[in-house]
Structure 1
């Protein structure tokens, strides 16, 4: 394992311990609204501090982009992209679908990524050019021939700054002929599930970079493709993402084309 990925794994597991330790004390947690229906807890912040502590102990000069504390440092080469608890709403409701997501960008390019599910103790990891793994076993995207019978993942907009009507139009063109759509509530895990072949494809609008940085690298290293809804490469900036194995990816973009061109 690459030394940088090893630090990401160590940091993710440390954060996972914080998260699990407080999971049976949900009624005592301090919860704040970042905006309507978008929550942050003291556990998010504790887990983030633990991740940054582990990273900076090994690499004190590296820059950080984290969900709760924002940007720290200005290292010209290395920046860590962190979501300490993706799926906070699930966590607060006792739904065991949440994860720690950590990625490392080198000169602006994603190089390493970890998504850690502390409940199931599943560690998804990837390094550029070295493939993707789940608990140290190689994973690959599925390879359906077309959209027939595929299972898709998604996230339904819930914030005021997201365009629900636009999203519903994407849903209406992607759903027909598939085996259905799952909305589990943690984008990082949804993306990791695509990489592991548990979902055949995924799309969402209005994500943040920390929601998807680790997951999209995993999919690419597992043989999949990732783009924005128009097939472009600025998904980390726009927050709009499509991801799947090659043929499903092509089919999703074809179906989305009339929707995104009309937007």
Structure 2
């Protein structure tokens, strides 16, 4: 546990440094390109952020494995694996919309034990160590107590291939929109997960997410007494989270379990 705490403190320092630079670079001209589709963007700031974090990890923990969004898998010999999204919400960042974040999860022997999500523009630091609860800027957080779906505010998103693959979440959205108090879309899965953990959203679901999108956030929700479900499919994970009551109602509509 002491080792996990030390790792978490390193992560918090590094993401603060990266976030500060991201805010500077967001206001300057930067290059960007498309990945899997015209709306799946990566910027030079994503790449710089990822390299900065990797250099810090390799310097401090040279034997740890690393999985990143932009450069993929980096072999390691230790029992630790870092899962990094240097900018979750790249489209937001590219449009200078403030909802983007840095998400880092750390696994030990295959289980996520540390989660940190930092939102630079509003200076919010979400963090959790397995078995120790979740916090936002150092204060404990817990999921909401909303019990009825028609009073709940939930979040979702849509995959990058939504124009070409009918499995694009539109049918689920249509099934849920008339049954909830409201639906929000921030454009960042990691931020959505953290809003559930903080009790701001009551639930969240999405399709075709990648491990770097959800690794940290799922742990943070679990440590905030929320329920989580994730299942890996061919094109990524389908994910459902929420407070227990809203989770159960959404699960009944989605029929994922």
* More off after superposition, 125-134 vs 174-183: 174-183
What is the match of residue 126 of structure 1?
128
What is the match of residue 240 of structure 1?
238
Alpha-carbon deviations, 1:129-185, whole Å to 9, x = none?
A: 000000000000002222121000111223269744551121122222311111110
Partner Cα distance (2:23, 2:181) in 1: 33
> Kindly tell me: are residues 160 and 142 of structure 1, through their superposed partners in 2, closer, same or farther at Cα, counting changes over 3 Å?
closer
Aligned length: 253
> Kindly tell me: are residues 160 and 236 of structure 1, through their superposed partners in 2, closer, same or farther at Cα, counting changes over 3 Å?
closer
Give, in angstroms, the shift of residue 99 of structure 1.
0.2
What is the match of residue 256 of structure 1?
254
Is 1:198–2:200 an aligned residue pair?
yes
Give, in angstroms, the shift of residue 234 of structure 1.
4.8
SS of 1:206 mapped into structure 2: strand
What is the match of residue 34 of structure 1?
35
TM-score, length of structure 2 as denominator length: 0.92
Residue ranges of structure 2 left out of the alignment (5+ in a row): none
Partner Cα distance (1:63, 1:133) in 2: 26
Does the CA-based 8 Å contact 2:162-2:168 persist in structure 1?
Answer: no
> Kindly tell me: are residues 161 and 62 of structure 1, through their superposed partners in 2, closer, same or farther at Cα, counting changes over 3 Å?
farther
TM-score, length of structure 1 as denominator length: 0.90
Residue ranges of structure 1 left out of the alignment (5+ in a row): none
Partner Cα distance (2:41, 2:248) in 1: 35
Map 1:110-259 to 2 at 5 A. Answer: 110-159=112-161, 163-165=165-167, 167-228=169-230, 234=232, 238-257=236-255
SS of 1:35 mapped into structure 2: coil
> Kindly tell me: are residues 162 and 221 of structure 1, through their superposed partners in 2, closer, same or farther at Cα, counting changes over 3 Å?
farther
Partner Cα distance (2:185, 2:224) in 1: 22
What is the match of residue 104 of structure 2?
102
Does the CA-based 8 Å contact 1:223-1:245 persist in structure 2?
Answer: yes
SS of 1:239 mapped into structure 2: strand
> Kindly tell me: are residues 77 and 161 of structure 1, through their superposed partners in 2, closer, same or farther at Cα, counting changes over 3 Å?
farther
How much is the aligned-residue C-alpha RMSD, in angstroms?
A: 2.0
